[in-house]
Structure 1
Amino acid sequence: MFFQIKSYLTFLWHSKNEHAVHSPFVFSLLTKCFYDKKPKPEYAILKKYRKTLLENKNFIEVTDFGAGSRVFKSNRRQISKIAQTAGISPKRAELLFRITNYFQPKNILEIGTSLGLASSAIALGSKESFLLSLEGCQNTQSVAENLFNQQFPDFNFDFVNSEFSKFLKDRSANICDWDLIYFDGNHSKKATLEYFELLLPTINNDSVWIFDDIHWSEDMEEAWKMIKNHPKVKVTIDTYQWGFVFFRREQPKEHFIIRA
């Protein structure tokens, strides 16, 4: 806890808003997307999806995985409690919606479906996209898939139950260039860097990668620093909870710390 408080205070000290940004690409992203305060009809749909989960009092067996496919934790949890504690916040869901709506990615990969709260924001933001979402726990994945089929029957999505590292090492994700990847599956330095390297062959010039919890621990901060310094990475944006990565070859290498 002390580390996260210190990390957040450091972030606040260094963070800026759009007035300190001189990159046209980043300035446009901030003013037209990040700081867009206009109400959207899709926000009500996101609230409905969340409400359905918060009202679900059923229990499921939740399984987390360690190295390889080794189970290191399994317990019974109430779906409503998972939605309260493990899912993306309403504010972050709305931002994720605006991001996908702004970039309109054709192919989207999500690592870590959970109950589909982030997945719903991604899908609503770019309704013509294909979304492939990976989840290690079969039971939470089933809840998300069933709810998606009910509330978003016309969306083009595929929810896959798989251990992330195995799926990526098998190159099962190398079916296309991913225009957007949302990393929310394993908040460790080793796993984050492994996923980063395994998915680099799938980038295109306009790919957008979003890493969750980049300041979760010292290890995650180290992983984020290594990602920023990678030669293929051109622009990064640190919003404290999320780290945005862009590979645009025409851009000078720049790093931004932004209050979002």
Structure 2
Amino acid sequence: MLFQIKSYIQFLWYSKNEHAVHSPFVFHLLTKCFYDRKSKPEYAVLKKYRNSLLENNEAIEVSDFGAGSKVFKSNKRQVSKIAQTAGISPKRAELLFRITQYFQADTILEIGTSLGLATSALALGNPKAKITTLEGCAETSSIAKRQLQKFNFNKVESVITEFNSYFEKKNLSLNATTEHYELNTEHFSLIYFDGNHTKKATLDYFELLLPTITNDSVWIFDDIHWSEEMEEAWGIIKKHPKVTVTIDTFQWGLVFFRREQPKEHFIIRV
């Protein structure tokens, strides 16, 4: 907790708003999307989805495959408590909806479904999008799948899997000569990383999924300041030669691969 407080103070010191941004691409993203304060009918759906989970007192056994929880001491957890403390916040869900809508992402991968709070925002952002969401915990995924069906998010494919196993099934191979991963799969216009808050896993998934990028791909990494090693992972991602623009909102790190853009890093208050 002390580490996060220090990180947040640093963030506040260095962060800017749209008035300090000279990149037209980022300026438009901030003014037309990030700072869009207009009410949207989809926000009511997001609220209903969340409230439905907050009213669910069912207890499930959660399997943690990543860094674990800083809130829960036991793996036996109430759905309502997970929704209240571990899911994406209402404000972040609305922002994720706006980002998806702004870029009109049509092929989306979510790494870490949890209860589907972020999934619902992605689905509302572009109802025509093909969404694949991965979750390692079978009981959590079952709750999310039931919720997504209840709200008619029928274009979401929920996959119960350990993430590495999923990538292996998608023809992942390690080239022994070059020591680079190769993933033969479709391209994703948006990837939301929220499944394993460790440095190694974050960097592994980053490298594994690089072959899926296009010039317009948008990647969002959750909890980049969750720990010292997550900050280290974020620093490595920013420096990667294929990455051009990054935006640090403290909670999220957004990554773009636009070849026409100069390499720039922005720290932005949302």
> 1:70 matched to which residue of 2?
none
The answer to whether residue 160 in structure 2 is matched with residue 171 in structure 1 is: no
CA distance in 1, matches of 2:184, 2:116: 22
Secondary structure of the structure 2 residue equivalent to 1:65: coil
CA distance in 1, matches of 2:15, 2:102: 23
Secondary structure of the structure 2 residue equivalent to 1:108: strand
> 1:182 matched to which residue of 2?
192
CA distance in 1, matches of 2:185, 2:79: 32
Secondary structure of the structure 1 residue equivalent to 2:225: coil
TM (norm. structure 1) is 0.95
Secondary structure of the structure 2 residue equivalent to 1:110: strand
Question: Contact between 1:169 and 1:198, CA under 8 Å: does it hold in 2?
Answer: no
Alpha-carbon offset, residue 170 of structure 1:
3.4
| Aligned positions of 1:17-32 closer than 5 A | 17-32=17-32
> 1:15 matched to which residue of 2?
15
User: What letter corresponds to residue 217 of structure 1 in structure 2?
Assistant: S
> 1:231 matched to which residue of 2?
241
Secondary structure of the structure 2 residue equivalent to 1:63: coil
> 2:230 matched to which residue of 1?
220
Secondary structure of the structure 1 residue equivalent to 2:16: coil
User: What letter corresponds to residue 49 of structure 1 in structure 2?
Assistant: Y
Which runs of 5 or more structure 1 residues have no equivalent in the other structure?
68-72
CA distance in 1, matches of 2:115, 2:65: 17
> 2:85 matched to which residue of 1?
85
User: What letter corresponds to residue 152 of structure 1 in structure 2?
Assistant: N
CA-based RMSD: 1.5
Question: Contact between 1:168 and 1:195, CA under 8 Å: does it hold in 2?
Answer: no
Q: Deviations over 1:147-192 (max 9, x none)?
A: 1111125x31100000112212333684310000000001110000
> 1:210 matched to which residue of 2?
220
Which runs of 5 or more structure 2 residues have no equivalent in the other structure?
68-72, 172-182
CA distance in 2, matches of 1:224, 1:210: 11
The answer to whether residue 48 in structure 2 is matched with residue 37 in structure 1 is: no
Q: Deviations over 1:47-87 (max 9, x none)?
A: 000010000111111111259xxxxx972211111111111
Question: Contact between 2:60 and 2:78, CA under 8 Å: does it hold in 1?
Answer: yes
CA distance in 2, matches of 1:126, 1:197: 27
CA distance in 2, matches of 1:114, 1:41: 24
Of residues 225-234 and 159-168 in structure 1, the stretch that sits farther from structure 2 once superposed is: 159-168
The answer to whether residue 52 in structure 2 is matched with residue 52 in structure 1 is: yes
| Aligned positions of 1:62-141 closer than 5 A | 62-65=62-65, 75-141=75-141
CA distance in 1, matches of 2:142, 2:193: 20
CA distance in 2, matches of 1:225, 1:121: 27
Change (3 A) 1:174 1:82: farther
Q: Deviations over 1:20-62 (max 9, x none)?
A: 0000000000000000000000000000000100001111111
User: What letter corresponds to residue 61 of structure 1 in structure 2?
Assistant: E
> 2:6 matched to which residue of 1?
6
Aligned pair count reads 254
> 2:264 matched to which residue of 1?
254
2:206 pairs with one of 184, 196, 199: 196
User: What letter corresponds to residue 162 of structure 1 in structure 2?
Assistant: T
Question: Contact between 2:111 and 2:135, CA under 8 Å: does it hold in 1?
Answer: yes
> 1:162 matched to which residue of 2?
161
% same residue: 70
